[in-house]
Structure 1
């Protein structure tokens, strides 16, 4: 079985064979204005998320124009979901940074363009464990396996806290592979700390992460903390074998009670980081 690991900025793409798992493929492509990316029809469903810039995608007689934010700290995401057996040509209408997530699919669903007006926004946690979650593809989304979520964590705050896991060790817990793709508001100086550890405590990965790094989580409790003054974003992709789409997690029982004070702590006043309709 593969172990959790962090790939430093400079990675180009990961396939299941690279990660030692079964489902998730992920790439981040940088295209100049006018440049194209061809994605062939195959057994993979895809989610295309512009991290910055505007994309034009065309498949057969259908086209979509989406994106537009200057960076992940300047707006909620768009996401174009494409089912299996769909070839698409993506053209950058401006300089474009595009995340392409894939997972094998059995059923063929309909293409869906998710816009910021469709994003499910949640201010989660409390106190210095407050963060903003923008869900592009929740379990109710009409897809086979892919789930795609954006998370913004103010500097000094904890995210994915209390630590949780997706291993199906207990009834109702989902079994999911998971990736975090990190971006920092200050890409030169920003950093965060990621921890992934096993329930038995015989594995413990605690590592500094920087802008552009990628975390692969096949199993284990995991949590992240952004350095003081260093706002953090991560693109969260999940996929697994369960025929029922679910994100049900199991929290570390040793730390679960830490959330009991959240109602009185309240949500960090810096949130929401990214409003649905930014002021003009």
Structure 2
């Protein structure tokens, strides 16, 4: 794959009912999937989960999620910059219907798996919010489906919000090989939304992925709302938010490891930056919204 194959500008990876449809085959890997679905008011969308587990995550608006004979009501949120959201987990080998009375946009994060776990609902109040880094490396992480937080078989997914002018996904790190107790092998998707300026001007951000091996992934992409970046390998970071425009990205990860864990290795040339964090305060703009805050 070329760098153009790894950076998917908004609209270039649409498919069927989806604004964005990244299946493992599209990405050239084995496990991780992401779909973004827009529903007009009152519309529904049905899909079989097939051989994957899925989380239905509202990006804007709310919905009803029916998985076979179980139904969950998701209150959702106004936007990814407004609040944490509730979500629903649906297992493999199920039939799912998503219905949105008021309309909205929804991320479907997926991972191929072997076992069918129970369908579940998680309220926004149960989503842990973490502040990582300090100073201009400060960012907010909504750990809704992080390893050790929410039980999936393979799927790991979190949301990251970076205030305008800050760097996140930094120091650059990787998780492209199995090193017991040190590093996980995980395929990763970044899906971006960029906050508009007060006057409504669209914003941009930047994503870097540098090779961790000969012939590895090498990307420097200008990203806008609706873009995605595929990361099969490589040192990923920084993710750079332009001044005046907060950056949101949804991370979707899965891999072959027997243990579902997120173990990373920092780039040796940049890992030292972590030693400076205790000397600086967290960006006062964070948290963008408190843990458990939900709104429509």
- For normalisation by structure 2, the TM-score amounts to 0.89
Kindly indicate whether the alpha-carbon contact (under 8 Å) linking 2:213 and 2:234 is maintained by their aligned counterparts in 1. Answer: no
Match of 2:220 in 1: 206
Match of 1:232 in 2: 247
Shift of 1:189: 2.4
Match of 1:220 in 2: 234
Change (3 A) 1:16 1:278: closer
User: Which stretches of structure 1, 4 residues or more, deviate above 6 A after TM superposition?
Assistant: 1-4
1:190 equivalent to 2:203? Answer yes
1:249 pairs with 254, 258, 264, which one?
264
1:34 equivalent to 2:42? Answer yes
Name the CA distance, whole Å, in 2 between partners of 1:89 and 1:214: 25
Kindly indicate whether the alpha-carbon contact (under 8 Å) linking 1:52 and 1:67 is maintained by their aligned counterparts in 2. Answer: no
Name the CA distance, whole Å, in 1 between partners of 2:63 and 2:105: 9
Residues 59-208 of structure 1 mapped to structure 2, 5 A cutoff: 59-140=67-148, 141-168=150-177, 170-171=179-180, 172-186=182-196, 188-200=201-213, 204-208=218-222
Q: Secondary structure at the match of 1:245?
A: coil
Q: Which moved more, 1:105-114 or 1:240-249?
A: 105-114
After superposition, the C-alpha distances for 1:204-231 in whole angstroms (9 at most, x for unaligned) are 3112111110010001111111011110
Name the CA distance, whole Å, in 2 between partners of 1:19 and 1:279: 33
Unaligned runs of 5+ in 1: none
Unaligned runs of 5+ in 2: 15-20
Residues 10-29 of structure 1 mapped to structure 2, 5 A cutoff: 10=11, 11-12=13-14, 13-29=21-37
Q: Secondary structure at the match of 1:161?
A: coil
Name the CA distance, whole Å, in 1 between partners of 2:39 and 2:201: 22
Change (3 A) 1:188 1:24: farther
Kindly indicate whether the alpha-carbon contact (under 8 Å) linking 1:80 and 1:113 is maintained by their aligned counterparts in 2. Answer: yes
